[in-house]
Amino acid sequence: MDLAKLSTQKIASSINLAHGHRVMLDTDLANLYGVETKYLKRQVNRNMERFPRDFMFRLTRKEVTSLRCQFGTLERLGRGQHSKYLPYAFTEHGTLMLSSVLNSRRAIQVNIAIMRAFVKLREVLSTNKVLAQKFSELERTVGDHDEVIRDIVAAIRKMMAQATSESVPVKPKGPIGFQS
């Protein structure tokens, strides 16, 4: 994979939710780092003390099935469809630790891109929370004004009805067309 084509959006699409954390799966990370998944897992297993439970954990069979059903994840060839081992899920801190375990120039560059994706994702989620809060405030404000608006519309309709009843009486028109 060309590092120049590594976009925040592509990385963000690899971020899933598991155990209440935003995580990336070992197969996705191996693909980004340009290594085989078994190599990535081997390096992680050799350095297990660097990956406490809040950095990395294994998904259960049920979670793997859920990811396949919900997002089509793991269905493509080479993404763990027939893996005999359950995939590792790395939290943001776990992905950061991976660059020190893999020790390559590419690992550093990919890791920077991943960190940017996590930061961007946090910004988007924060923005959405702010927008949701402002929308709730707007709903409350509009809710208070609904009754006032209805009263204004009723008053306008009443004035329009009075204006039409007080207008000049309309002369009855004769029949239309030829008269014989």
| Minimum mean pLDDT range among 26-40, 46-60, 75-89, 95-109 | 75-89
The reported pLDDT for the residue numbered 120 is: 83
**What angle do the packed helices 37-46 and 92-102 form, to 10 degrees?**
90
> Over 50: is that where the pLDDT of 159 sits?
yes
Considering only CA atoms, which of 125, 67, 117 is closest in space to residue 92?
117
Angle, CA 19 vertex, CA 15 and CA 21 arms, to 5°: 45
Helix then strand count (H, E) for the chain reads 6, 4
Judge contact between 26 and 40, C-beta under 8 A: yes
Judge contact between 98 and 56, C-beta under 8 A: no
* Per-residue pLDDT tens over the stretch 11-43: 877 888 888 888 889 988 988 888 899 999 999
The reported pLDDT for the residue numbered 2 is: 54
| 176: Cα within 13 Å, side-chain hemisphere | 0
Angle, CA 49 vertex, CA 43 and CA 53 arms, to 5°: 100
* Per-residue pLDDT tens over the stretch 113-143: 888 888 888 887 777 777 777 767 776 766 6
